[in-house]
Chains A and B, each alone.
Chain A
Amino acid sequence: MVTTLATAAEHGAEVAASTGAPLEMAWLIPIIPMVSAAVIWGVGKRFPKKGAEIGILAMLAVLAGALVVFFDTIGHIAADEGWHGYERAVTWMNFGPGTTLELGFKVDGLAAVLLVVVGVVATMVHLYASSYMHDEVRVTHFFASLSLFTASMLNLVLANNTIQMLVGWEGMGVCSYLLIGHWWEKHENSSAAIKAFLTTRVGDVGFMLGIFVLFWGAQSFNVGVISEMATAGDIAKGTLTVGAILLFCGAIGKSAQFPLHTWLPDAMAGPTPVSALIHAATMVVAGVYLVARMFPVFAAAAPVALEEVAIIGSITMLIAALLALVQDDLKKVLAYSTISQLGYMIAGLGVHAYTASVFHIWTHAWFKALLFLGAGSVIHAVHSNKMSDMGGLYKKMPVTSITYIIGGLALAGFPPFAGFWSKDELVLGAYTQAMEGSGAAMFTFIAMLVTAFLTALYVARMLALTFFGKPKYDEKHVHPHESPKLMIVPLMILAALAVAGGWVGLPGEMNQFGKWVHLPGSEHEPFNMMIAVVSTGAALAGFGIGWAIFRLGKVKVDLQKTALAPVYKLLVNKYYLDDIYWKFIVRPVRDRLSAAAYWINMKVLDGAVNAAGIVAVKTGDFMYRDVDQGLIDGGVNNLAGLMGLAGSKLKFWQTGNMQRYAAAMFLGVAVLVGAFVFFRI
């Protein structure tokens, strides 16, 4: 026990000696938003924008710090390929003799990348929200929670030990709860908030127990120590497997994986900037980050743990993408899309595509934050979440529309947009593993391709229904117009990133990202043209089909009446393939299968969650009424009653007649005398 702790200390000291100044100050990054949260809660109300400006300042500081740390980190990596990262810690406390918990931070490529993601998205969202939330209730509270959320996420990213990760993890959870329920006057909103917190908390139980299992396996909470010991085989494989699976339960909850994904769509009840920051770009990728951070444990526990990860991720991406197809609520489409993309990342980790998964976190953050913020801009304009209240917005809101379309294309995975590069690497990773004979990887590979197809499909649908076609809103009352600058500028910045953000991971020698985030043992695969073509083809097919259905589908109605009707009809109907597809593929997939999936989602899974709540309440009711009050408490009361009963019967012996008392006394004396005589005492 003592020796491993000493290794941790030496490890830190050794790294510390070989590094420069900026990294030493990295611990300040989570402190800044923590302080800003306290300040906003304390005095934010007195500021002209009710605390928004403090939040924005803090986020700019965070962003600056994150960029400094990031560039310093990649500088270190460029100088030394084997650079492990910079770690510093103080003792937080001793649980017992030799059971030390550190408070520390660890900066390596993975953490640095996440820092940038959080810093940029948080800054953009703050800027955007300062305009979006301008007239809302409890603005101060909103920005304080956002700051605290950012602090928690940064703490998670920088944490060097599992408990500290848990602290950030749960902190995010509670901020998410506060923000989803921001408009808590409405019952649905507060219910959605509770659902989000509790569903993730179910996963957190696994996370917590996983921490314990690994702690007693490695005698340390330190991520580095656990990883090294896992890789070196110093922890029993059974322990590792159990620990990894339990940890993954946490990821299932937080990253909204099947079967705990149901909270995320409901979480859309929160304000849109919250959805962009928490439920798209940062908090929900925490589960992915956790698996990536603890990847050596998962790798050492292979194949069981990794296959489980791959399969769960694959199932998630598929069902979520299907669900996204049937949504009318714009934000829910994005929510299901987020779940699906998280499934990509998780499944990617399950097939050893470590770098690619983290790369997907990076690119996904840009385009998904962009999409959410864009959706917010649209919703702001038409005062409705529903796509059936939108349409034809392209002309009214050009900037929003163009940026949104960029985001959509990036999500669908078209080159050269950011999403393509990461998705391609993930698919390639799955393919490589599948070729080595792993059944789970083969499943993942197929799931990824199908999801790529479906993703493009719903993206096309979403774009078509929202920005094109005829306006479906009430044109007399709703006059959509472009959003204010404070909302547009973040959109443009994120759009630029959604285009160019993936170029840091271009294939071949130019690939920088693979150097930043790199894990020995999970090597980067070289670019494979065939895979790129296949995955892009799937996306293109999806998008094409989607576009054809949702944008162009209306055209055919007029053409049916011409003279060349039969041939034309055949052509228009594309040899009825469309109909066949429609009847046997599209409709079943779009209406039946996805509806069935949605039905299972709502009735079975969601129902189970709800039923579990009801059962718990009923059981509580039963335990309280029948067991506690009836059985246990009743028993206590009955005992007291028994004593009273005895008294009420025995009292009749007290007649008040002195002569009877005297007789009894004499009798007693006589008995005693008799006894004394008889026994000769």
Chain B
Amino acid sequence: MPLNWVLVLTTFLFCVGVYGVLARRNAVIVLMSIEIMLNAVNLNLIAFNGALEGDRLIGQVFALFVIAIAAAELGVGLAIVLLIYRNSFTVSLDEVNLLKW
């Protein structure tokens, strides 16, 4: 499988993720979009490893790390979303401005 195909796919996935992060109001969807972006990166890592390194599996190891971090991040993120929901009864990012000056 040519590398380019994979790259096209991952670029598409990444753009979907970026769109989700920037455009959607729902915090859960934003988190999911982040996951999509991370997975796009994972695919990239594996694809490049296959193309450039062969058997050394460096990309795969990184991908594993990313998955682990993504899981942790998702856990923390969802917890925050839950807490925000409990406090303000919304998960819309427009209405959350705790970081404002």
Contact = CB atoms under 8 A, between A and B. Distances in A.
Interface of A: 651-652, 654-659, 662-663, 666
A657 B21 contact: no
Contact of A666 (B22, B94, B101): B22
A652 B22 contact: no
Given A654-B101, A657-B94, 6 more contacts: A651-B101, A656-B98, A656-B99, A659-B93, A662-B21, A662-B22
A652 B97 contact: no
Contacts of B56: none
Contacts of B86: none
B100 A655 contact: yes
A658 B18 CA distance: 13
Contacts of A663: 22
Given A657-B94, A659-B93, A666 B100 contact: no
Contacts of A651: 101
Nearest to A652: B101
Contacts of A657: 93-94, 97, 100
Contacts of A662: 21-22
Nearest to B18: A666
Interface centre among A651, A656, A663 (most CB of B within 10 A): A656
A658 B93 contact: yes
13 contacts: A652-B101, A655-B97, A656-B99, A656-B101, A657-B94, A657-B97, A658-B93, A658-B96, A659-B22, A659-B23, A662-B21, A663-B22, A666-B22
A662 B21 CA distance: 8
Contacts of B97: 655-657
Interface string B35-68: 0000000000000000000000000000000000
Interface centre among B30, B96, B99 (most CB of A within 10 A): B99
Contacts of A656: 96-101
Interface residues of B, number: 13
A655 B21 CA distance: 17
A662 B18 CA distance: 9
Interface string B5-30: 00000000000001001110000001
A142 to B, nearest CB: 72
Contacts of A655: 97, 100
B15 to A, nearest CB: 11
A275 to B, nearest CB: 77
B21 A654 contact: no
Nearest to B23: A659
Interface in B69-101: 93-94, 96-101
Contacts of B93: 657-659
B22 A654 contact: no
A651 B94 CA distance: 19
Contacts of B22: 659, 662-663, 666
B21 to A, nearest CB: 5
A654 B98 CA distance: 11
Nearest to A648: B101
A311 to B, nearest CB: 79
A658 B99 contact: yes
A271 B23 CA distance: 97
7 closest Cβ contacts across the A-B interface? A656-B100, A656-B97, A656-B99, A651-B101, A654-B101, A663-B22, A662-B21
A449 B96 CA distance: 105
A222 B98 CA distance: 83
A313 B22 CA distance: 98
B30 to A, nearest CB: 8
A657 B97 CA distance: 6
A655 B97 CA distance: 7
A656 to B, nearest CB: 3
Nearest to A653: B101
A658 B31 CA distance: 12
A648 B22 CA distance: 28
Nearest to B24: A659
Contacts of B101: 651-652, 654, 656
A651 B101 CA distance: 7
Contacts of B18: 666
Contacts of B21: 659, 662
A233 to B, nearest CB: 83
A655 B22 CA distance: 15
A8 B100 CA distance: 84
A41 B9 CA distance: 103
A651 B98 CA distance: 14
A417 B30 CA distance: 120
Contacts of A658: 93, 96, 99
A666 B22 CA distance: 9
Nearest to A670: B18
Nearest to B99: A656
A666 B97 CA distance: 20
A20 B94 CA distance: 109
Contacts of B96: 656, 658
B36 to A, nearest CB: 14
A84 to B, nearest CB: 88
A659 B99 CA distance: 12
Nearest to A663: B22
A662 B100 CA distance: 15
A283 to B, nearest CB: 74
Nearest to A647: B101
Interface centre among B23, B93, B101 (most CB of A within 10 A): B101
A217 B8 CA distance: 95
A652 B21 CA distance: 22
A501 B101 CA distance: 95
Nearest to A658: B93
Contacts of B30: 659
Contacts of B98: 656
A658 B98 CA distance: 10
A558 B93 CA distance: 122
Contacts of A652: 101
B87 to A, nearest CB: 15
Contacts of B94: 657
B78 to A, nearest CB: 15
Nearest to A660: B22
Nearest to B27: A658
A285 to B, nearest CB: 79
A657 B21 CA distance: 12
B99 to A, nearest CB: 4
